[in-house]
Chains A and B, each alone.
Chain A
Amino acid sequence: MAEFRHKDIIALRDLTKEELELLLSTAESMREINSRDIKKVPTLRGKTIINLFYEASTRTRTSFEIAGKRLSADTVNITPSSSSATKGETLSDTALNLLAMKPDIIVMRHAVSGSHYFLSKYLPHCSIINAGDGAHEHPSQGLLDMLTMKDKFGRLDGLKVAIVGDITHSRVARSNIQGLTKMGSAVYLAGPPTMMPPGVERLGNVTVCRSMKEAIQDADVVMMLRIQQERQGKTLMPNAREYSRYFGLNPENVKLAKPDAMIMHPGPINRGVEMSSAVVDGDQSWILKQVENGVAVRMSMLYHVCGGELE
């Protein structure tokens, strides 16, 4: 069995296939705790986890908070509106101040790609978990997506996974590409050319498709991405209606995928833009299962970084 010796989880790119398998297998075991009457184990008793969210989040932050609490850690949430960041404090100063409170793990979301690597250098005795950094990675989302696929298919090897939407701005897409290609899945990308990063095929078994149809044809998994209106200028797409016509998933084009294909979305959903409501609420939708798996995956991540080697 593989061992997990990292103190941080910043990007799935940094992990081996064996380490990913270990994180997923532990998550499967953690799931049992969430179905009990007493949803708590004493594993991380006495550990302190700080959730430091510089960007808005409901699902991820709540999920990390619940995960920490179910492992008996003490979790504290810090959001920019209530912190000194709005008063001009730098990330490194914030980090050093937090360190004075002796946290064991900092879970951070930040708009700047790679900021976690910077933070990790400042905090050699504290584990850092990335809850999303700019347009880089969102490892917990990638892992929970893989766990959900594994639930249905029992494997990741040989799956055709279509990812459709704004690939350029999507850290969810990057983490999925990094993770899935390591596990042997084939990833097909589709989106407006203005939202397709050049050279993305170099990341592994990744195919950039000329149309959405080509990507979702016979796919086992169709993952739709949110149009991130807060991140892009107005120039990337003419309007939501046109986007929806070419890159929206609806009851018609969903038939191009395999009959038992699973439909996924990292949330929050813009209903009627990237997906029609009929698909969101349809039989093939695994969106709520993704959220449920999020807690188990994050418990697994917290558990394994605590056993990692501090510098």
Chain B
Amino acid sequence: MSAETTVILDGSGVKRALTRIAHEILERNKGVAEVVLIGIRSGGAFLAEEIGAIIKVIEGVDVPIGAVDITLYRDDMSGQLPHQAVGKTEIPLSLEGKKVVLVDDVLYTGRTIRAAMDAMMDYGRPACIQLAVLIDRGHRELPIRADFVGRNVPTSLKENVAVLFDTNNQPLEVVLEK
């Protein structure tokens, strides 16, 4: 970890942000019909579980939750040495006609989201894809924006934003590293 870190969102702050995102997802989609939450490994997958649990409390319905590892869809494979380990992708159902909500922890260049969207298309043709992120730190390199944002955090390129999880994969806090 870097020399200087600032907590920008503590545990209860994360929880409140995720609760609001859950409500917004329900509002936008008029309920949970056809909604599927897909978390981007690793942080996004944990957050998707959290949002799913909150929706369960609000609506009393289990929303299908999946996880995607985008390693094989990266756009920098040929320059990247060595190739990193590939995590498991678990999509519980065909995405044909579904409203897919991609969940990630930090939105930055947008390249990860581009890769995740390409991956989604290989599982059927979703009715739509929406994007939920806990933190949007700016500096997009692709024309991508989030539909649901927990917190906008203006950053410089030298800084790093990290969402920390405990050993049970519960979000602890969000820190800004300088």
Contact = CB atoms under 8 A, between A and B. Distances in A.
A and B held together in a complex:
yes
Interface of A: 1, 3-5, 22, 25-26, 28-30, 32-33, 36-38, 40-44, 46, 71, 300, 303-304, 306-309
Contact of B83 (A32, A33, A41, A307): A307
Contact of A37 (B83, B85, B124): B124
Interface in B87-114: 87-90, 94
A29 B73 contact: no
22 contacts: A4-B82, A5-B81, A22-B85, A25-B86, A29-B85, A29-B86, A29-B89, A32-B88, A32-B89, A33-B72, A37-B123, A38-B122, A42-B73, A43-B73, A43-B77, A300-B86, A303-B72, A303-B86, A306-B77, A307-B80, A308-B81, A308-B82
A12 B124 CA distance: 38
A40 B73 CA distance: 10
Contacts of A309: 81-82
B82 A43 contact: no
Nearest to B69: A29
B81 A42 contact: no
B118 interface: yes
A207 B43 CA distance: 46
Contacts, number: 64
Q: Identify which of A28, A29, A30 gathers the most chain B CB atoms within 10 Å of its CB.
A: A29
Contacts of A29: 69, 85-89
Contacts of A30: 86
B81 A43 contact: no
B2 interface: no
B98 to A, nearest CB: 14
A309 B78 CA distance: 12
A23 to B, nearest CB: 10
A309 B118 CA distance: 28
A66 B77 CA distance: 20
A36 B85 contact: no
Nearest to A6: B82
Contacts of B85: 1, 22, 25-26, 29
Contacts of B88: 28-29, 32
B73 A41 contact: yes
Interface of B: 69, 72-74, 77-78, 80-90, 94, 118-119, 122-124
Contacts of B83: 4, 303-304, 306-307
Contact of B82 (A40, A71, A307): A307
Contacts of B73: 41-43
Given A42-B118, A43-B72, A32 B90 contact: yes
Contacts of B69: 29
A46 B73 CA distance: 14
A46 B78 CA distance: 9
B45 to A, nearest CB: 14
A5 B82 contact: yes
Given A304-B82, A304-B83, 19 more contacts: A4-B83, A5-B81, A25-B86, A26-B86, A28-B88, A29-B69, A29-B86, A32-B89, A38-B122, A38-B123, A41-B122, A43-B72, A43-B73, A43-B74, A43-B77, A303-B72, A307-B80, A307-B81, A309-B81
Contacts of B87: 29
Contacts of B82: 3-5, 304, 307-309
Contacts of A37: 94, 123-124
Nearest to A23: B85
Contacts of B119: 41
Contacts of B123: 36-38
Contact of B72 (A5, A28, A41): A41
Contacts of A46: 78
A46 B75 CA distance: 12
